[in-house]
Chain A
Amino acid sequence: MDIFLQQIINGLTLGSVYAIVALGYTMVYGIIQLINFAHGELVMIGAMVAFSVIGALAGTALPPVLIVLAGILAAVPACMLVGYAMERIAYRPLRGAPRLAPLITAIGISIILQHVALLVWSRNPLAFPQIIPLVSFYVGGAIITGVQIAIILTSVLMMGGLTLMVYRTKLGIAMRATSQNPQVAGLMGIDINRIIAFTFIVGAGLAAVAGVMVGTYYGIAHYSMGSLLGMKAFSAAVLGGIGNLAGAMLGGILLGIVEALGAGYIGDLTNNVFGSNYQDVFAFLVLIAVLVLRPSGLLGERVGDRA
Chain B
Amino acid sequence: MKDRARRAGRVVSVYAKAQAKWVGVALIAIALVALPFALATAGTAWVRIANLAILFVFLSLGLNIVVGFAGLLDLGYIAFYAVGAYAYALLASPHFDLHLPFWVILPIGALVACLFGVLLGAPTLKLRGDYLAIVTLGFGEIVRIFLNNLSRPVNITNGPQGISRIDPFSFGSFSFSRNETIFGLAFSGPIKYYYLLLALLLLAIVINLRLQHSRIGRAWEAIREDEIAARAMGIDTTRIKLLAFAMGASFGGIAGGMFAAIQGFISPESFVLVESIMVLSMVVLGGMGNIWGVVLGAVLLSFVPELLRYTVEPLQQALFGRSIIEPEVIRMLLFGLALVLMMLYRPAGLLPSAVRKRELAKAAP
Interface residues of A (CB under 8 A from B): 34-35, 89-90, 93-94, 96-105, 107-112, 114-116, 118-119, 227-228, 231, 234-235, 238, 272-275, 277-278, 280-281, 283-285, 287-288, 291-292, 295, 304-307
Partner of A288, one of B124, B128, B362: B124
Partner of A99, one of B129, B148, B274, B362: B129
Whether A115 contacts B329 in the complex (CB less than 8 A), given A35-B133, A93-B344, comes out as yes
Quick one: closest A residue to B122, CB to CB? A292
Q: Are B343 and A287 closer than 8 Å at their CB atoms?
A: no
Partner of B336, one of A98, A112, A277, A291: A112
List 13 A-B pairs, Cβ < 8 Å.
A35-B134, A104-B284, A107-B75, A108-B337, A111-B332, A111-B333, A116-B333, A231-B137, A234-B134, A235-B138, A238-B131, A291-B131, A307-B227
Q: Are B340 and A109 closer than 8 Å at their CB atoms?
A: yes
Whether A100 contacts B329 in the complex (CB less than 8 A), given A109-B340, A231-B134, A292-B124, comes out as no
List of A residues within 8 angstroms of B123 by Cβ: 288, 292
In the complex, A114→B331 CA distance in Å?
13
Q: Are B135 and A287 closer than 8 Å at their CB atoms?
A: yes
Quick one: closest B residue to A111, CB to CB? B336
Q: Are A307 and B124 closer than 8 Å at their CB atoms?
A: no
| Among B139-147, B176-184, B214-222, the stretch in contact with A | B139-147
Q: How many A-B residue pairs have CB under 8 A?
A: 137
List of B residues within 8 angstroms of A304 by Cβ: 128
List of A residues within 8 angstroms of B343 by Cβ: 94, 97, 101-102, 104-105, 108
B71 within 8 A of A: yes
Whether A295 contacts B134 in the complex (CB less than 8 A), given A105-B340, A109-B340, A111-B336, comes out as no
Partner of A112, one of B133, B228, B340, B342: B340
Quick one: closest B residue to A274, CB to CB? B149
Query: Of residues 262 to 311 in B, which have CB atoms within 8 Å of A's CB atoms?
Result: 273-274, 277, 280-281, 284
Q: Are B149 and A278 closer than 8 Å at their CB atoms?
A: yes
Q: Are A109 and B336 closer than 8 Å at their CB atoms?
A: yes
Whether A284 contacts B75 in the complex (CB less than 8 A), given A234-B134, A304-B128, comes out as no
Whether A104 contacts B280 in the complex (CB less than 8 A), given A112-B333, A287-B138, comes out as yes
Q: Are A115 and B336 closer than 8 Å at their CB atoms?
A: yes
In the complex, A116→B325 CA distance in Å?
10
Interface string of B37-64 (1 = CB under 8 A from A): 0000000000000000000000000000
Q: Are A288 and B280 closer than 8 Å at their CB atoms?
A: no
In the complex, A234→B75 CA distance in Å?
15
Please classify the interface of chain A as helix (H, G, I), strand (E, B), loop, or mixed, using the class held by over half of its residues.
helix
In the complex, A98→B72 CA distance in Å?
12
Partner of A97, one of B133, B141, B280, B364: B364
Q: Are A288 and B135 closer than 8 Å at their CB atoms?
A: yes
The interface on chain B, measured as residues whose beta carbon lies within 8 A of the other chain's beta carbons, has a size of 52
Q: Are B153 and A273 closer than 8 Å at their CB atoms?
A: yes
Whether A100 contacts B344 in the complex (CB less than 8 A), given A111-B336, A304-B128, A307-B128, comes out as no
Q: Are A101 and B347 closer than 8 Å at their CB atoms?
A: yes
Q: Are A115 and B71 closer than 8 Å at their CB atoms?
A: no
List of B residues within 8 angstroms of A103 by Cβ: 73, 129-130, 133
Quick one: closest B residue to A284, CB to CB? B138
Quick one: closest A residue to B141, CB to CB? A284
In the complex, A275→B145 CA distance in Å?
12
Quick one: closest A residue to B276, CB to CB? A107
Whether A280 contacts B141 in the complex (CB less than 8 A), given A90-B340, A105-B343, A115-B333, comes out as yes
Quick one: closest B residue to A100, CB to CB? B73
B28 within 8 A of A: no
4 more contacts with CB within 8 A, not counting A99-B130, A108-B337, A278-B145, are A99-B129, A100-B67, A114-B332, A231-B138
List of B residues within 8 angstroms of A285 by Cβ: 142
Q: Are A119 and B329 closer than 8 Å at their CB atoms?
A: yes
Quick one: closest A residue to B362, CB to CB? A98
Q: Closest Cβ of chain B: how far from A40's Cβ, in Å?
A: 11
In the complex, A201→B72 CA distance in Å?
30
Q: Are A115 and B332 closer than 8 Å at their CB atoms?
A: yes
Q: Closest Cβ of chain B: how far from A45's Cβ, in Å?
A: 15
Q: Closest Cβ of chain A: how far from B235's Cβ, in Å?
A: 14
Q: Are A111 and B128 closer than 8 Å at their CB atoms?
A: no
B209 within 8 A of A: no
In the complex, A103→B44 CA distance in Å?
39
